[in-house]
Amino acid sequence: MLKRYPFLKYSLGVLASLILIIVCFGFWFVSLLPAKKLNIENTIAEEIPYLSQNRISNRGKILTVVTSTAVMGKSQKKTGYELTELSRAYYVFQANGYEVSVASPLGGKAPVVLDKEDMGIYDYAFLNDEEAKEKINNTLVLEDIDFKEYDAVFFVGGKGAMFDFPNHPMIHEMLKNYYENNKVIGAVCHGPAALVNVKLSNGSALLKDKKITSFTNEEELFLIPEAKNIFPFLLEEEIRKQGAKFISSEKYLEKVNHDENIITGQNPWSTWKVAETMIKQLGHTPKEREITGEENAVSVLAVYKSKGKKAAKEKISEFMFDNSKPVDRLLIAQHSMLEVLGGKVSGFVDLVSLVSFIKSCEKKLLKNN
């Protein structure tokens, strides 16, 4: 048959070559990824200097609120609160001298989303923290709380928040009281759903004319194309409808808006900054913390988006050689795949080259040491 149809032989040869190239590229790409961190799952809070050293005496109380919703509407898709958005804020508040409570609309054990690819030492320390486990397994019922005891409230993200935060009477009453008494309000990712539909004493919407951010329409629809049919509304869209000045960044990069006593973050990667901005709003300089490799990677991605690959490489060198700071190449590799899914081949190539550059920097540092 191949003699009779020579073009078929040529086509099979091309196909075989393409398959070989793809397989070789796949092995090379995997080789760029960091090895799994050993024993990170066993991290305990006492091993982290930020949490165990130079402890700050009690300054007050902060309430964190998580969703009680375990399923997204009629879709049967599982949901809950995002562990990383609670654990990181929890430890920032605690390290800065605040007692932290965890509440939910229904109380008890709230449904949680664990994304192991995004989890770091603080998240595993939280899971191994007996006091924290007691709080998340027995969350306080919102309606039973005397919210006046707290100096601030923080609404944790997770898609479940879209269902039980927007119309909860206790949340409405609390936020009206906190805003009008200049108490601190924080929310991240889908957490700002709590701000929707809140009316102040003068009848105006809490969100009117406020600089707000949240998980964006672009981020939502990229992950769940049918989101409009699953959620009661798209969060960015609803926030805009209620008169807010919605300000966002590139998808899946850090963005925090601070307007008076309201601090909001766009997505999970904004959690650290939201929590530390809340501490500033409470009148304190946040305790010094070693910035994580993930946060440095997000900074590199922001430079890449605004200034290009060359500037991003310079930022990597600055972190790693000038300041001896890690850069999480796994996160940048994950963003390279997002570029592919978005049809941006050039972006994929650029980010893969950045991952390769980080790996080569790590080798140089290891050799020099």
* Average pLDDT value for residue range 256-280: 97
CA distance 79 to 138: 18
- 276 and 303 share one domain: no
CA distance 297 to 121: 16
Domains of the chain: total:
2
* Average pLDDT value for residue range 238-260: 97
Which amino acid type is present at position 56?
A: I
CB 362 within 8 A of CB 325: no
- 255 and 324 share one domain: no
Q: What is the pLDDT of residue 34?
A: 63
For 289-308, what is the HEC assignment?
A: CCCCHHHHHHHHHHHHHHHC
- 297 and 252 share one domain: no
**pLDDT tens-digit map of 33-73:** 565 555 789 999 999 999 999 999 899 999 999 999 999 98
Of the candidates 281, 301, 329, which is a domain's last residue? 281
**Tokens for 249?**
């960044």
DSSP 44: -
Domain that holds residue 341: 293-369
End-to-end CA, the chain: 61
* Average pLDDT value for residue range 154-181: 97
Structural domain includes residue 100? yes
* pLDDT at residue 313 tops 80: yes
Contacts of 123-127 with C-beta under 8 Å, sequence gap 24+, read 123/83, 123/84, 123/87, 123/88, 124/40, 124/41, 124/42, 124/43, 125/43, 125/44, 125/45, 125/47, 125/48, 125/51, 125/87, 125/91, 126/45, 126/83, 126/86, 126/87, 126/90, 126/91, 127/83, 127/87
- 263 and 319 share one domain: no
- 61 and 181 share one domain: yes
The burial of 99, by beta-carbon neighbours within 10 Å (0-12 exposed, 13-18 middle, 19 or more buried), is given as middle
Of the candidates 281, 310, 335, which is a domain's last residue? 281
Which amino acid type is present at position 220?
A: E
Of the candidates 281, 313, 339, which is a domain's last residue? 281
CB 132 within 8 A of CB 69: no
Say which residue, 32 or 132, is predicted with more confidence. Answer: 132
Q: What is the pLDDT of residue 367?
A: 87
Q: What is the pLDDT of residue 32?
A: 55
* pLDDT at residue 75 tops 70: yes
Phi-psi region of 316 (alpha: psi -120 to 50; beta: other; left: phi over 0): alpha
CA distance 161 to 143: 17
DSSP 250: S
Structural domain includes residue 90? yes
3-class state of residue 194 by DSSP: helix
Q: Which residue has the tokens 């500037």?
A: 311
Distances (CA, A) of 123 to 20, 81, 156, 164, 324: 40, 13, 14, 25, 23
- 333 and 227 share one domain: no
CA distance 302 to 306: 6
Structural domain includes residue 27? no
Residue closest to 267 by CA, chosen among 211, 187, 335: 187
Q: What is the pLDDT of residue 340?
A: 84
* pLDDT at residue 275 tops 50: yes
**pLDDT tens-digit map of 178-222:** 999 999 999 999 999 999 999 999 999 999 999 999 999 999 999
Phi-psi region of 158 (alpha: psi -120 to 50; beta: other; left: phi over 0): left
- 305 and 277 share one domain: no
Structural domain includes residue 288? no
CB 91 within 8 A of CB 286: no
**Tokens for 51?**
């949490």
- 142 and 168 share one domain: yes
- 313 and 271 share one domain: no
Averaged confidence pLDDT in the chain:
91
* Average pLDDT value for residue range 102-121: 94
* pLDDT at residue 334 tops 70: yes
Say which residue, 24 or 219, is predicted with more confidence. Answer: 219
- 134 and 227 share one domain: yes
- 266 and 227 share one domain: yes
Domain at 156, CATH number:
3.40.50.880
- 234 and 211 share one domain: yes
Tally: H helices and E strands in the chain: 15, 13
Say which residue, 1 or 117, is predicted with more confidence. Answer: 117
Structural domain includes residue 4? no
CA distance 256 to 211: 10
